[in-house]
Structure formats: C-alpha cells, structure tokens
Chains A and B, each alone.
Chain A
C-alpha cells in the first residue's frame, strides 16, 4: 500500500524558515518523480515544486523560486521541502504527491503569522 506521511509543519513567524518532510513507503520511491502541492485555507490546489527521480532536476512555480528548495533522499525514501523567508501567503496545507499525482499524503499545515 502506498503511504506518504508529511511532517514538519506548524506556526512560524514571517521571515523564518521551515523544513517539511514526506516519508514514502509501499512503492519503489527512487523510480518516481515527486512533488509538493499546497492548498491555502478554503482555496484550491496549487503545484509548488517537483523533483526528478535522481534529484538532478527540480522545477518550481515562479512565486516560490529562490525561497523553496525541494530535495530527496532515495536511501531514506524521504522527500523534503525547505521553505525560507516565509510569507503570510505561504500559509497552506502542504501535500506531497507521488509521480503524476496518483497518490497524495494527508498533508501538513503551515501557518505563517506573527
């Protein structure tokens, strides 16, 4: 059974940093691209970043370029999202998603507020 379990969220002040993790199991993790998708409260879904199987290539939406860093550890079957210089509009539930979004984690809430 595919499982994606996010962690690392919380209440953070503007300008601070946070690192989200996503522990993957139930599939051959190193064979799949992985992504982060976020959803602001009461809003729709927004793709954030994607990383290729070996981690060689990463892709970001423009609004997070330079502040977000997606990475992966294929030995530990874990996906990461480093978020720097947090802004209030980063407040959202962050989901990790496998491949072409065929499986999603339960999400982790990030709240940016002073």
Chain B
C-alpha cells in the first residue's frame, strides 16, 4: 500500500500569504490528485493530474511534483481557502489519501 504523508497537518495563514502544502508518497506515484473539504461538507476535486485545476478552482492555486514528492500552493491565500486539503494517488490499489492538512485563518 502506498502511504501518503502530508505536512503540515495543521497550519494557520493570513490572507495574502503564499502557502505550500506537501504530500510525500512511500513509493513513486505517476501523478497526484488534491481535494478540498470544508467543515461539514463533501470533498471537492481541486487538482488532478498533479497540476491541472478542477472546474471552478481559482488560478491562485497550483500543483506540482513528481515521483514521491508533490505540493499544493496557494498564492495568495484568501479567506475562503480555509479548509482541509487531502492528496490522493491512483497509481496502485488500494487508492490512498493523505491524512489531510487543515488550513486555518490567522
């Protein structure tokens, strides 16, 4: 099973800041997906194929990475971005998610 480790697990940021979340895989993966989940709501696909923005996602978000190291960047952070973000891999079954990064407003 490919284990995805996200860091940090929790962080606080101010609007206007540049924020980067990382996701490290225990084995190489072909690409990474990212999801946003706000409190009490369902997850939403946020980034697919490592760097492609899902429909409706603002272009201040970007994704990058390869192999075992991937990242999600917000530049700049806005108040509506406060949420939990999960990375996820499709390379091998079981398809796994990272533990999540909870992003709070400072």
A binding-site residues for B, Cβ under 8 Å: 37, 44-47, 50, 59, 61-62, 95, 100-107
Q: Does B33 contact A (CB under 8 A)?
A: yes
Stretch at the interface among B19-27, B37-45, B60-68, B73-81: B37-45
**Shortest beta-carbon distance from A99 to chain B in Å:** 10
**In the bound complex, how far is the Cα of B73 from the Cα of A26, in angstroms?**
32
CB contact between A107 and one of B42, B90, B100 (< 8 Å): that residue: B42
Which listed residue (A46, A61, A62, A104) contacts B42, Cβ 8 A? A104
B residues near A100, Cβ cutoff 8 Å:
33, 48, 90
CB-based contact A95/B94 at 8 Å: no
The answer to whether B94 touches A62, judged by C-beta atoms less than 8 angstroms apart, is: yes
Q: Is B12 interfacial (CB 8 A cutoff)?
A: no
Contacts from B to A (Cβ < 8 Å): 33, 35, 37, 42-45, 48, 54, 86, 88, 90, 93-100
CB distance from A111 to the nearest CB of B (A): 17
The chain A residue with its CB closest to the CB of B86 is A45
Interface of B is mostly: loop
| 6 A-B pairs closest in CB distance | A104-B42, A45-B97, A47-B95, A61-B94, A44-B100, A102-B45
Give Cα A105 to B43, complex, Å.
Answer: 9
Give the complex CA separation of A100 and B33 in angstroms. Answer: 9
With both beta carbons as reference points, the residue of chain A lying nearest to B95 in the complex is identified as A47
Inter-chain contacts of B44 with A (CB < 8 A): 104
Judge whether A44 and B94 touch: CB under 8 Å.
no
Q: How far is the CA of A37 from the CA of B43 in the complex (A)?
A: 10
For residue B99, which residues in chain A have a CB less than 8 angstroms away from its CB?
Answer: 44
Which A residues touch B37, using CB under 8 A?
45
Q: Is the CB of A46 within 8 A of B97?
A: yes
A6 (CB) vs chain B CBs: closest residue: B42
- B35, A45: Cβ atoms closer than 8 Å: yes
